[in-house]
Amino acid sequence: MSKPLSDHEKKKQISVRGLAGVENVADLKTNFNRHLHFTLVKDRNVATKRDYYYALANTVRDHVVGRWIRTQQHYYEKDPKRVYYLSLEFYMGRTLQNTMVNLALENACDEAMYQMGLEMEELEEIEEDAGLGNGGLGRLAACFLDSMASLGLAAYGYGIRYEFGIFNQKISKSGYQIEEADDWLRYGNPWEKARPEYMRPVHYYGRTEHTPDGVKWVDTQVVLALPYDTPVPGYRNNIVNTMRLWSAKAPCEFNLKDFNVGGYIQAVLDRNLAENISRVLYPNDNFFEGKELRLKQEYFVVAATLQDIIRRFKVSKFGSREIARTNFQELPNKVAIQLNDTHPALAIPELMRVLVDDEKLAWDEAWDICVRTCAYTNHTVLPEALERWPIDLFAKLLPRHLEIVYEINRRHMERVASLYPGDFDRMRRMSLIEEGGGKRVNMAHLCIVGAHAVNGVARIHSDILKATVFKDFYEMDPHKFQNKTNGITPRRWLVMCNPGLAEVIAEKIGEDFIRDLDQLRKLEAFVNDDGFIRDIAAIKQENKMKFAVHLEEHYKVKINPNSMFDIQVKRIHEYKRQLLNCLHIITFYNRIKKEPNKAWVPRTIMIGGKAAPGYHTAKMIIRLITAIGEVVNNDPVVGDRLKVIFLENYRVTLAEKAIPAADLSEQISTAGTEASGTGNMKFMLNGALTIGTMDGANVEMNEEAGEGNLFIFGMRVEDVDEMDKKGYNAHDYYSRIPELKQCMDQISGGYFSPKEPGLFKDIVDLLMYHDRFKVFADYEDYIKCQDHVSAVYKNPKVWTKKVIYNIAGSGKFSSDRTISQYAREIWGVEPTLEKIAAPDDPK
């Protein structure tokens, strides 16, 4: 019998990780040692693990820079239409492995490290996540960057280089969330390049002067925007695009104008005030917090980015360098600006300000250019998430922009009035300025009016936009409304996080599916192939074992690797209904206690996610989960048939470990509330089955995987609407369903918090008396559906066949498909899988 393969040898055999050619490996070792010596200034006697990580990161980075420069030269020479993706969030996660995957360097680097006695996986763990996002919206932006580069688009991501990303979440001994600052730049960031030579001024406050030669915005305070560029490599096509993140810098003369004796020191200290603009990411997911600093951030990215866009347009070869006066009519043919939600909506009045005030275009001409250039993506219908900025704040910080918004609104209202004479209620509903409870600017309305395309992020969500929230706008301008169902990049969310699965697939259908995910359909031919079924199940088991080791190290709980791994990971939010999951856990627990000798299908139920620090209910949901875990995990009657684990500090890196290990994916939001979801897609691609409602992209996943291959339960959107008309009465369910009553009585009676019986009073009151998301209405069907899940899980072959149908049907959810649709249907550019020449190719 031959010796079992070591992890290293196993990985080497995985072809999707690239070839480890001898020369390649030798070169990597040489360059690694060079960086250790010259960049880190260390030798192997004193080098730390972190030094080795940085040496490796720099070695890999060297393979990027030539391609990066070449790509940008290529764009300059070809002058294609540029795509600008503006986002307040880019939830990138780690960069090292992603770069190696896209450049086919993974196995070669692994081998080089191995030969030097280092473990690459251990070095990868040293890299901090770039956690510049809250959840789905920020991660979508990151997936889009990967797809735009992989599809050869001349695209740029523009955002803010937050000094502190999303907080690190700790769970205290008593089971509460604790937030810690995410000091991700402490040890330096090898992937970014500061570009102080391209610094740009951003103005705030001041007042406007209306003069015969136009409007002037004067007496402003200036903050500088310092760009940091991060390369975005495409998948094996030698394209490297740029993500440019702005950092706030006080000008040298900041506050020194009013220099007086004793004022100098204070003036220097006060530079912080300006530099605070890029200090920290606001940690709210799907929630609007109308803070001045946040409005400053939104204008900061917009003002700096538009200067960049216009400069690049003006100096473009095509453009207008030679022409005395720039032909801005060409702007929409050369530039597309995509607004990731309303957060960068100020791009619309800012572009108008530049065109009208600075470039002296007539309003009508400027407006036509603006609308044809901008497009807007809506991410939510939850009213508490929609940005509505108070007028006084707006007027104080951006006086000129408010005037422009008023002028946009005046003309917009004129048009509404002429199309719907006498319909004053419609005018009120459609106004950019909301009255009542203090005037506010409705940023979504501004975006719809100022953009030529408005899209939702899943079919059902786009339909809801047209039918409800933006109905009036749809009736007036139906041509603007589109759908672009979200997607995820299969590079990070399959090849990188689940190489074993990628390889098993590649053995059947080749490697092309990695850039053309629809090819996964070919796997349907193997649903009855026993060898393939065995391989798929074996990979899942391997991933589960690996994650179990991680969990046991981390949480000191013994995991039953034969239990079903039932996972809900996403931000903690009432609408996502982690509480419904809790009710199932308690119900399952009660059933085991009632019939301890029955052959229950064992589960390890994991819930993870961050609560916004100011969101009390979300924090109490976390406390409830930890409380349930405390009781369940220590009950000897239960044993290893049920474990409840709160996954601490859920972030991109933890998603990459947890999702490949999942058997069951929980996607249980109230129908009509989750715009799309992307976590759902990651699980599907990684061979988990979904229990979910007909919400967001679940609807389309169900369609793609085929009848009966998702576990769908609960109210549909129409049922929810119906219930809203008739009224939802939680108490009816409570008194009618004994198992539900038992759960609630336990929570309210202190069963899970014996030392503090009233601890969950707020949660009980919420569920019983003011639950906007109707948890009880879906309880019965959810429990039934979970029973069905367990029954199917008992038959591994039937289960795995469903898994194969899911993987085979997940092609639609590649962000390559999403981006191709944005490209063709909104931006007017054509995606391509063609490679450009590599730096080492002959020219």
Ligand X SMILES: *Cc1c(COP(=O)(O)O)cnc(C)c1O
Binding-residue total with ligand X (CB under 6 A) = 11
CB 64 → ligand X: shortest distance, Å? 23
Decide whether 138 or 206 has the Cβ nearer to ligand X: 138
Structure tokens belonging to residue 437:
């409870």
Q: Is 135 in the site for ligand X (CB under 6 A)?
A: yes
CB 277 → ligand X: shortest distance, Å? 25
CB 457 → ligand X: shortest distance, Å? 10
Decide whether 300 or 813 has the Cβ nearer to ligand X: 813
Q: Is 152 in the site for ligand X (CB under 6 A)?
A: no
CB 702 → ligand X: shortest distance, Å? 16
> What is the rounded CA–CA span in Å between residue 263 and residue 258?
8
Nearest to 84 by CA among 198, 235, 241, 231: 241
The angle formed by the CA atoms of residues 67, 815 and 91, to the nearest 5 degrees, is 75
The single residue of 379, 603, 610, 817 carrying the catalytic annotation is: 379
Decide whether 134 or 338 has the Cβ nearer to ligand X: 134
* Residue 678 annotated in active site: yes
Name residue, tokens 């001045």.
Answer: 292
Decide whether 217 or 646 has the Cβ nearer to ligand X: 646
CB 135 → ligand X: shortest distance, Å? 4
Give the x-and-dash track for 681-710 against ligand X (CB under 6 A).
-x----------------------------
Pairing relationship of beta strands 664-667 and 564-569 according to DSSP bridges? parallel
Q: How far is CA 504 from the centre of its chain?
A: 28
Q: Is 136 in the site for ligand X (CB under 6 A)?
A: yes
Q: How many CA atoms lie within 13 A of 839 on its CB side?
A: 15
CB 399 → ligand X: shortest distance, Å? 37
Where does 102-238 show beta strands of DSSP type E? 130-132, 155-160, 168-171, 177-180, 193-194, 200-204, 207-211, 214-218, 221-233
Q: Is 349 in the site for ligand X (CB under 6 A)?
A: no
* Residue 412 annotated in active site: no
Decide whether 93 or 206 has the Cβ nearer to ligand X: 93
Q: What residues does 441 pair with on adjacent strands?
A: 389, 433
Q: What residues does 453 pair with on adjacent strands?
A: 375
CB 349 → ligand X: shortest distance, Å? 31
CB 679 → ligand X: shortest distance, Å? 3
Q: What residues does 564 pair with on adjacent strands?
A: 603
Q: How many CB atoms lie within 10 A of CB 392?
A: 12
Among residues 349, 679, 687, 692, the one that binds ligand X under rule CB under 6 A: 679
- Does an H or E element contain 604, and which? strand 603-608
Nearest to 679 by CA among 208, 3, 91: 91
**Hey, what amino acid is at 20?**
A
> What is the rounded CA–CA span in Å between residue 617 and residue 763?
7
* Residue 70 annotated in active site: no
> What is the rounded CA–CA span in Å between residue 166 and residue 157?
19
**Helix (DSSP H) and strand (DSSP E) numbers for the chain:** 34, 25
Q: At 282, give phi and psi (nearest 5°).
A: -70, 125
The single residue of 70, 401, 492, 571 carrying the catalytic annotation is: 571
Decide whether 152 or 165 has the Cβ nearer to ligand X: 165
Decide whether 628 or 681 has the Cβ nearer to ligand X: 681
Among residues 678, 690, 800, 806, the one that binds ligand X under rule CB under 6 A: 678
The angle formed by the CA atoms of residues 611, 617 and 621, to the nearest 5 degrees, is 70
Decide whether 138 or 319 has the Cβ nearer to ligand X: 138
* Residue 571 annotated in active site: yes
DSSP string, 310-374: HHHHHHSTTTTSSSSS--GGGHHHHEEEEEESSTTTTHHHHHHHIIIIIS---HHHHHHHHHHHE
The single residue of 67, 334, 452, 576 carrying the catalytic annotation is: 576
Q: What residues does 84 pair with on adjacent strands?
A: 156, 337
The single residue of 682, 774, 802, 817 carrying the catalytic annotation is: 682
CB 387 → ligand X: shortest distance, Å? 20
Decide whether 246 or 547 has the Cβ nearer to ligand X: 547
CB 670 → ligand X: shortest distance, Å? 14
8 A C-beta contact, residue 32 and residue 116: yes
Decide whether 243 or 658 has the Cβ nearer to ligand X: 658
Name residue, tokens 């009151």.
Answer: 765
The single residue of 244, 249, 372, 570 carrying the catalytic annotation is: 570
8 A C-beta contact, residue 19 and residue 108: yes
Q: Is 70 in the site for ligand X (CB under 6 A)?
A: no
Nearest to 219 by CA among 181, 247, 257, 265: 257
**Hey, what amino acid is at 295?**
L
Among residues 480, 491, 570, 812, the one that binds ligand X under rule CB under 6 A: 570
> Please, which contacts does 109-118 make with residues 24 or more away whose CB atoms are closer than 8 Å?
109/28, 109/56, 109/59, 109/60, 110/8, 110/11, 110/12, 110/17, 110/20, 111/12, 111/20, 111/25, 112/25, 112/28, 112/29, 112/32, 113/32, 113/56, 114/8, 115/25, 115/29, 116/29, 116/32, 118/52
CB 134 → ligand X: shortest distance, Å? 8
Give the x-and-dash track for 638-677 against ligand X (CB under 6 A).
-------------xx--x---------------------x
Give the x-and-dash track for 278-307 against ligand X (CB under 6 A).
------------------------------
8 A C-beta contact, residue 776 and residue 736: no
CB-based burial, 361-384: b 16+ in 10 Å, e otherwise:
beeeebbbbbbbbbbbbbbbbbee
CB 284 → ligand X: shortest distance, Å? 14
Q: Is 139 in the site for ligand X (CB under 6 A)?
A: yes
Decide whether 129 or 192 has the Cβ nearer to ligand X: 129
Residues 6+ apart with CB under 8 A from 454: 375, 376, 377, 378, 447, 448, 465, 470, 473, 480, 481, 482
Q: Is 227 in the site for ligand X (CB under 6 A)?
A: no
Give the residue ranges of DSSP H helices in 172-291.
263-269, 271-275
Name residue, tokens 């080492």.
Answer: 840
Pairing relationship of beta strands 453-456 and 388-390 according to DSSP bridges? unpaired
The single residue of 342, 678, 690, 693 carrying the catalytic annotation is: 678
CB 164 → ligand X: shortest distance, Å? 17
- Does an H or E element contain 530, and which? helix 530-555
Decide whether 267 or 281 has the Cβ nearer to ligand X: 281
In the complex, residue closest to ligand X by CB: 679
Decide whether 177 or 678 has the Cβ nearer to ligand X: 678
User: Binders of ligand X among 578-597, rule CB under 6 A?
Assistant: none
User: Which positions are catalytic?
Assistant: 379, 570-571, 576, 678, 682
Binding residues for ligand X, per CB under 6 A?
Answer: 135-136, 139, 570, 651-652, 655, 677-679, 682
